[in-house]
Amino acid sequence: MSAVSAGPAAAPAPAAARIRARGARWYRQPTLVAGLVLLAIILFMCYGAPLLTSFNPDTQNLLEPLVGVGRQGHLLGTDQEGRDTWARLLYGGQVDLRVAGLAVLFPFILGIIVGSLAGYFGGWVDAIIMRIVDIVVAFPFFVLVIALVFVLGTGEKSIYIAITAVGWVSYARITRGEITVAKRQEYVLAAQSGGLSSVRIITRHLLPNVITQSIVYAMSDIVQDILAIVTLSYLGLGIQPPTPDWGTMIATGQNFLTTQWWLTTIPGLAVVITGVALSLIGDGLADLLRPAAS
């Protein structure tokens, strides 16, 4: 690490001051900036795919299967059915990123709602919810997701349901812990003395104070979700052909690993680079929002 951000020694400031002061210089966080730039490039390439390739990702050309790199106008050659690999890579990214984004959003929302209720009300509500959380956590993530998709049937909707059903527990735990602490603050008592409803106190007063932890976690969670989606597709349980997707590309390409190694390696690299970009953003955000270290 050559670039170390050496900000001025900050006096102990209230949390909000810290967030605002640091928010004003987020661009000085090298990790965060690197991650954001990388992600911006990936998003541009995927969603700007029509600008970067003239091929349709689904058009088969059985006369030109397994064309080599750079031959006949195909930047990365073609697959066994003569489809342009570069086009499939870009359009496949659209699908994977969209599914991953939504697959992190649903458990995020569900987990925060459930965790807030458990943390704020405590008592038996908390006891029941946290026991359910314990049960879900006891299963390995991938095993439960794969089992659920297997039961629900393949396709995008099953992925959302399966990942939501398994993923919400982390957000519930984080939010519950944060709210359990935050609800003892005097501003919550003040809000109660103002006659505000519990829903309003949770949504307007508590969540804005505690949600950052969940957002940071979501950044690392989305990496796991991309891996899960690609894995499911690789196993034939996720995105179904002919819709392009990185997992399916890796799976079909591996038959030609000895001669056309890039068919598997390039989408694999795409997964890795996307994962790195999101991890960098997660780390950068965590650094940005962490209380000033002495």
- Footprint on this chain of other proteins (rule: CB under 8 A): 13-17, 19-20, 122, 185-187, 189-197, 200, 204-205, 208-209
Closer of 23 and 48 to other proteins (Cβ)? 23
DSSP H stretches of helix in the chain: 15-23, 30-47, 49-52, 85-121, 123-138, 141-152, 156-182, 186-193, 198-200, 207-234, 246-253, 262-289
Q: Which two tokens stand for residue 12?
A: 């102990």
One-letter amino acid for residue 212 of the chain? T
Q: Which residues of 91-128 are buried (b: 16+ CB within 10 A; e: fewer)?
A: bbbbbbbebbeebbebbbebbbbbbbbbbbeeeeebee
Closer of 212 and 265 to other proteins (Cβ)? 212
Taking the complex as a whole, the smallest distance from the CB of residue 287 to other proteins amounts, in Å, to 19
Closer of 157 and 204 to other proteins (Cβ)? 204
Closer of 56 and 197 to other proteins (Cβ)? 197
Nearest to 247 by CA among 262, 230, 235, 232: 230
Taking the complex as a whole, the smallest distance from the CB of residue 218 to other proteins amounts, in Å, to 19
Taking the complex as a whole, the smallest distance from the CB of residue 187 to other proteins amounts, in Å, to 5
One-letter amino acid for residue 294 of the chain? S
Cα gap 97→108, rounded to integer Å = 16
Taking the complex as a whole, the smallest distance from the CB of residue 141 to other proteins amounts, in Å, to 32
Cα gap 268→111, rounded to integer Å = 30
Closer of 39 and 129 to other proteins (Cβ)? 129
Taking the complex as a whole, the smallest distance from the CB of residue 20 to other proteins amounts, in Å, to 7
Q: Which residues of 222-240 are buried (b: 16+ CB within 10 A; e: fewer)?
A: bbbbbbbbbbbbbeebbbe
Taking the complex as a whole, the smallest distance from the CB of residue 108 to other proteins amounts, in Å, to 19
Closer of 163 and 188 to other proteins (Cβ)? 188
